[in-house]
Amino acid sequence: MGASVFQIMDRKTQVAGDAGEELTTVEGTIELRGVHFSYPSRPDIVIFNDFDLKVRSGKSMPLVGQSGSGKSSVLVLILRFYDPTAGKVRVTRQKLANEECKLFGGQEQRVAIARAVLKNPEIALDRLSRNRTTVMVAHRLSTTKNADKISVIQGGKVIEQGTHSSLIENKDGLYFKLINLQQQKQLEH
């Protein structure tokens, strides 16, 4: 039987050391190296076994894959909601731009950004991620077209990487199949 909401809320975190500096913008490289990970609530289910991913400074990387492939787990590790059971999650910082931090500090700006994303997600994401190290879970694959590099995840492993145009050339690849599946669903509706 699963844990109650109160048990989860009362659970002591395993994340080591919260004394570090909070980064509101990342202008360096994000790297997951040799990562092994299972959620504490389901330790018998392995999410990552020797997982590697590198997002270069100032570049955007959408994570693409079927449900349960590990896309969101990458984000929870980067954001330090959890630590990996083995391996390293590193965020190197080149500089912190205070002007950019202030822009995202206010409630009004957050609402404006949310509205922009809802109205035209492709343009909003392009503008927000320009010259920033960006990792995102891409449910709408149309948002990946302008990304610097796309990572396709399956079974907790990166199985393909490249630009949109290079990945759609591989007719046997998962990215190509996911694009076609999504386009077929759009035509049906």
Q: Given this model, what pLDDT does residue 105 score?
A: 42
Q: Given this model, what pLDDT does residue 134 score?
A: 79
| DSSP 8-class letter at 82 | S
Domains and CATH numbers, the chain: 25-96+132-188 (3.40.50.300)
Which amino acid is located at 48 in the chain? F
What is the spatial distance between Cα 189 and Cα 185, in angstroms, rounded to a whole number? 7
Q: Given this model, what pLDDT does residue 103 score?
A: 39
What is the spatial distance between Cα 147 and Cα 60, in angstroms, rounded to a whole number? 6
Q: Given this model, what pLDDT does residue 14 score?
A: 56
Do the strands 150-154 and 60-64 form a parallel or antiparallel pair, or are they unpaired?
parallel
Q: Given this model, what pLDDT does residue 149 score?
A: 95
- Per-residue tens of pLDDT for the chain, all 189 residues: 456 656 655 655 555 554 445 545 555 788 999 999 999 999 999 999 999 999 998 888 999 999 889 999 998 898 888 899 999 998 886 544 433 333 344 445 455 555 555 555 554 556 666 677 778 888 777 778 888 999 999 999 999 999 999 999 999 999 999 999 988 887 887
Q: Given this model, what pLDDT does residue 57 score?
A: 87
Torsion angle defined by CA atoms of residues 166, 140, 89 and 54, in that order, rounded to the nearest 10 degrees: 10
Q: Given this model, what pLDDT does residue 120 score?
A: 54
